[in-house]
Amino acid sequence: MKLSQEQIQQIDRYIAACGIEWIEVRAELVDHFANSLEEKLAINPTLDFMQAIVAEHKSFSDNGFKKLLETKKTAVYKQFYSQVFINLKSFFKLPKIIISIAVFYGLVLIMDLVNNKELFFMILTIILFLLVIQVLVRTAKEKKSKNNNFLMLNRTELILQLFNFLTIIFSSLTTSRTENSFQNANYNYLQLGIFVLLILFYWCMEYVYLENKKYVQQNYPQIAS
């Protein structure tokens, strides 16, 4: 027995009331509920629809959707990290390794033009913190938009915890270095390499986010437009 649009909306409202705010997770649950309830109504057309929804909910476990939601969050975050690192690895293989080398070499040329190497690396540190700030600002704006209701686009924890942590480490490297170390070319090249790696890592996170956003817009055009 095919469910009506009103019945599907009733399922969606029930699942939302149970605390499932993420649209794509809710869509999966609605589809699961709809398939199960269609089978039950085909057997017993007089079945109370609301009671059937509650019974289906109870079949998940004593914790309801809590365990399912945590599993889904973990899976989405792992997938995000996996996509980021796959893209990052591509910058160390042909043809993208040419980009990595070009960026590093360009920064080396700039560094050689600057007499005050400590100031140069402080500027690099500021650039990283500016990237963190712009993510903070953009994330604050996204929280007010409906796109924030998609789990795969909610990357606040990923960006602000991981990239901010790496930026702090880079800053610590700069502030802990001695005046003599800034005259050592090998130390400078090493830290410059770390900076390039962080920039590539940031770019990969942005790229994966934009790809996920395209996916959401294609699959949920009325919601994510």
> Domain count of the chain?
2
Q: Is residue 12 part of a domain?
A: yes
Same domain, 15 and 40: yes
Encoded tokens for 120? 């140069």
Same domain, 127 and 205: yes
Q: Is residue 129 part of a domain?
A: yes
Structure confidence at residue 106 (pLDDT): 98
Q: Is residue 64 part of a domain?
A: no
Residue-level pLDDT, tens digit, the chain, 225 residues: 689 999 999 999 999 998 888 998 999 999 999 999 999 999 888 889 999 999 888 887 667 788 888 888 888 888 888 999 999 999 999 999 999 999 999 999 999 999 999 999 999 999 999 999 988 887 777 777 656 688 888 766 667 788 889 999 999 999 999 999 999 999 999 999 999 999 999 999 889 988 988 888 888 876 655
Structure confidence at residue 155 (pLDDT): 66
Same domain, 175 and 199: yes
Same domain, 136 and 165: yes
Same domain, 111 and 34: no
Q: Is residue 15 part of a domain?
A: yes
Count helices and strands in the chain by DSSP H and E runs: 10, 0
Q: Determine what percent of the chain falls in helix, strand and coil, rounding each to the nearest 5.
A: 80, 0, 20
Could you tell me the residue range of the domain that residue 21 belongs to? Answer: 5-59
Distance CA 58, CA 204 (A): 41
Residues comprising the chain, all counted: 225
Same domain, 139 and 115: yes
Same domain, 141 and 85: yes
Encoded tokens for 132? 């963190």
Residues 69/25, Cβ–Cβ less than 8 Å: yes
Q: Is residue 117 part of a domain?
A: yes
Same domain, 84 and 45: no
Same domain, 44 and 84: no
Same domain, 118 and 87: yes
Structure confidence at residue 223 (pLDDT): 67
Q: Is residue 194 part of a domain?
A: yes
Q: Is residue 66 part of a domain?
A: no
Same domain, 174 and 199: yes
Q: Is residue 192 part of a domain?
A: yes
